[in-house]
Structure 1
């Protein structure tokens, strides 16, 4: 672990959030921006068909296999593995892979004050958010509000108190905001004419159920594409056997590997 990683560890443990500036290459950021519109259109069509479109403007869920650029982004986050392992004191898996297109005067549930995990522990941390800034995050275009040191505050703060005391996660495109998922936060209002876009990933301890079966979505037949980081983060080391034949196998072939606690 280098000194920069150590500083981010300290900030996550104290304030509850930290920003890694300009981590993701701009060429990949451009590809991700180009992929978002079709991804949003697909999800809006499904939400419209299923009657769940209300209060979801610009929100996207489970993007991983829409386009190769989403897979590449997850692969590039491997450079954060030391920070992640320190945060979790062990292994972790992808819990969700979403995105937000924050338009001027848009309204969605992410703009309400909320936290992404409803319980905590004094002895270990279970969930971490990673927000990838696809555009510059500014005060004008809706940079995320984060209430520092609120990871141990169980009671939701009143909106007036939250906005009076919250910090703003300002950064350049390609930067990554990491925060303890117990933090009270809210998407800001975009007051500009341009969209403010981000990818929103969460990671949890391996024994948590992911919001989608990412190992199955990625495909067991694609395992040969996975380095150790991708195998771990996609959940291939924390699968559940479906038969006795899958259960009674040599240690190295087990679905649920050691160290997934």
Structure 2
């Protein structure tokens, strides 16, 4: 897979978002799209049982171990590691791994104007969103609304202003939308008869708690299967030891590796 154009780093640093075209192969996009429906059934059953199904239509969380294709996608992200490292100024880990199936006239919390981190810093970036388009994103099927240059706008814009001024993140299936998590954005309304599917991943500085213990979910016994990229992004390099036996080990075997700041 070819290297990603450096213009995407510039767009992230200025406008606050960028779309990398056709980053994911058609074959992998097909597998991911097929995996989403059964993954949603599992989550909707749990939400129904626990009484938290309202306002969550088509939203999915913590998909990593549902299917091998979800792991494969994360592994394929290694090609944009330079973009990530430039954004964070260092290392990072997976914070969440979700998805959205946007059906015609569906309603979910992701369609409200929001941002995914409630604080920021002028000198350091803490969180990055990566949205993988599993269908073409168009104006009609709910392409994401995103307010360019809003990463330092602390006050939420009113809906009328936001929807007039926001850009639309359109793209072909297999493209990836990256944006600073401080950006004000909203999922679009789908007015077509076909679903608009996407995966929604977030990445944070390594010292942030991930929303799920992805290293444990993946499994310590499988760490030998991990490339250096996967070991880092799954959080194996930012673990907390549970005992003195785990603490007093050679540097290369430590859970919390150097450079995780």
Contact kept, 8 Å, 2:3 with 2:79, in 1: the verdict is no
Aligned to 2:207: 207
Contact kept, 8 Å, 2:92 with 2:205, in 1: the verdict is yes
Aligned to 1:105: 105
TM-score calculated relative to the size of structure 2: 0.98
Matching of residue 40 in structure 1 with residue 40 in structure 2: yes
CA distance in 1, matches of 2:5, 2:85: 11
CA distance in 1, matches of 2:122, 2:93: 21
Aligned to 1:75: 75
1:178-232 CA-to-partner distances (Å, cap 9, x unmatched) read 0000000000000000000000000000000000000000000111110000000
State the number of aligned residues. 260
Aligned to 2:52: 52
1:24-82 CA-to-partner distances (Å, cap 9, x unmatched) read 00000000111111100000000001110000000000000000000000000110000
Q: CA deviation at 1:124?
A: 0.6
| Superposition pairs of residues 15-164 of structure 1, within 5 angstroms | 15-164=15-164
Which consecutive unaligned segments of at least 5 residues does structure 1 have? none
CA distance in 1, matches of 2:250, 2:84: 29
CA distance in 2, matches of 1:3, 1:52: 42
Q: CA deviation at 1:5?
A: 3.4
Contact kept, 8 Å, 2:59 with 2:100, in 1: the verdict is yes
Larger mean Cα displacement after TM superposition, 241-250 or 85-94: 241-250
Contact kept, 8 Å, 2:146 with 2:185, in 1: the verdict is yes
Secondary structure of 1:151 counterpart: coil
Q: CA deviation at 1:250?
A: 1.4
Aligned to 1:183: 183
Which consecutive unaligned segments of at least 5 residues does structure 2 have? none
Secondary structure of 2:151 counterpart: helix
Secondary structure of 2:177 counterpart: strand
Contact kept, 8 Å, 1:5 with 1:83, in 2: the verdict is no
Secondary structure of 1:5 counterpart: coil
Aligned to 1:244: 244
1:76-127 CA-to-partner distances (Å, cap 9, x unmatched) read 0110000000000000000000000000010000000000000000101000
CA distance in 1, matches of 2:90, 2:37: 36
Aligned to 2:9: 9
Secondary structure of 2:5 counterpart: helix
Displacement over 6 Å in runs of 4+? none
CA distance in 1, matches of 2:98, 2:4: 27
TM-score calculated relative to the size of structure 1: 0.98
Secondary structure of 1:150 counterpart: coil
Distance 1:258 1:11, change over 3 A: same
